[in-house]
Structure 1
Amino acid sequence: MSEKKNGIDKGLIRDLANILNDTDLTEIEVEQDDVRIRVSRAGTTQYVQAPIAAAPAFAPAAAPAAVAAAPAAPQDNKNAVTAPMVGTVYLAPAPGARAFIEIGATVKEGQTLLIIEAMKTMNQIPSPRSGKITDILVNDAQPVEYGQPLVVIE
């Protein structure tokens, strides 16, 4: 049986911590009835702000090898569009389909730049402004954190 103290299920907290270890996630949050529990790893995240959406409770099949490529634009670029949530980024609407954007393309405000899958939901990320794509800072099927720069629009 789970240990409970003041309505908090310690077994649930242990299970969530085990999920973090098993899936290599940095944070997980669950809500049951009127109780919300967030478990995170200290010192492993690069961003200080808390995510808007909870991290998905699954691990990506495999980390892409191309993730190590250094982006051409600095991470603090004021023209960068950042991830509004934690999830997996997809540059095309379906596997094998043409990408939403490419470097040098002109985009309009509201145009879909990419998709972030979070909690098994595909979220289209719209362009916040019109302009020219000067850099794409992520790879297809790459996990992203909240606030991570994704695309630079000049």
Structure 2
Amino acid sequence: MTVEAAHLTSIMEWMSAKGVKELDLTENGVRFQIVRDESVPPVTVGGASTKDQQSILPASKPAPDNLTIKAEMSGLCHLKPNPASAPFVQVGDTISAGQTLYVIEAMKVMTSVSAKAAGTLEEILITNGVQVDPGTPLFRISA
């Protein structure tokens, strides 16, 4: 399956307009990650030049800003499995790839989000139960 270059360009323009710096998306069976990086010159995608400085990275490679974990989707961000439980992770914890970091609640659907890379949790940037949008910084980790 493929994704049309014009569609990618419209997604990147939307990201620029909304201030979204990173987007991990699966469409038509194709998973891709788009990361806006002001240090990279504009790229051409299938003959269509982007208006903003952005790059398309394979999903298997870490984003340039691999020390900040950002929300992948909109919803309420839960840092605990339930109100009486301890948080999924705490400052100082060693995080392993695949470990649950938080849960996003959107339209009464709970989606667990796991770490894509290992590291040490340095800072939690939000509080439990707040509304987040894609790209909202949530955690800072050190590799």
Which TM-score band (shorter chain)? Answer: 0.5 to 0.7
TM-score by length of 2: 0.55
Matched residues, percent identical? Answer: 31
Provide closer, same or farther for how the CA distance between residues 130 and 96 of structure 1 changes in structure 2, counting only shifts above 3 A.
same
Q: In structure 1, how many angstroms separate the alpha carbons of the residues matched to 2:138 and 2:22?
A: 16
Measured after TM superposition, the shift of residue 152 of structure 1 is 1.3
Measured after TM superposition, the shift of residue 47 of structure 1 is 3.1
One of 67, 71, 78 as aligned partner of 1:90: 78
One of 122, 146, 149 as aligned partner of 2:134: 146
Q: In structure 2, how many angstroms separate the alpha carbons of the residues matched to 1:86 and 1:140?
A: 14
Q: In structure 1, how many angstroms separate the alpha carbons of the residues matched to 2:95 and 2:121?
A: 7
| Mapped contact 1:51–1:85 kept (Cα < 8 A) | no
Task: Output the aligned Cα RMSD.
Answer: 2.4
Q: Which residue of 2 aligns with 1:108?
A: 96
Measured after TM superposition, the shift of residue 49 of structure 1 is 7.2
| Mapped contact 1:51–1:146 kept (Cα < 8 A) | no
Measured after TM superposition, the shift of residue 144 of structure 1 is 0.2
Q: Unmatched 5+ residue regions in structure 2?
A: 1-17, 26-63
Q: Which residue of 2 aligns with 1:47?
A: 20
1:124 pairs with 2:112: yes
| Mapped contact 2:88–2:101 kept (Cα < 8 A) | yes
User: Which one-letter code corresponds to 1:47 in the other structure?
Assistant: V
Q: In structure 2, how many angstroms separate the alpha carbons of the residues matched to 1:103 and 1:118?
A: 26
Q: Rg bigger for which structure?
A: 1
